Amino acid sequence: MWDFPANTILFLEKMVEEMHFPIQSIQTDRGREFLAYKLQGWLMEYS
């Protein structure tokens, strides 16, 4: 089964690593991966 929150976290970690400036916001489509506790926890740690 697909683990959408984990894939999203991997993508965001890579994006943060590659950007040359701090990310202030992310616009989403409110997909289920953005409502997952796993991703919400990662976002709280990042901010």
Q: What pLDDT digit, counting tens, does each position of 3-46 carry?
A: 788 888 999 999 999 998 988 888 888 777 777 888 888 888 88
pLDDT of residue 36: 81
CA–CA distance, 11 with 17 (Å, rounded to integer): 10
Question: In this structure, are residues 42 and 8 in contact, taking their beta carbons and an 8 Å threshold?
Answer: no
The first and second tokens of residue 33, run together, are 């991966």
pLDDT of residue 15: 92
CA–CA distance, 2 with 47 (Å, rounded to integer): 26
pLDDT of residue 4: 82
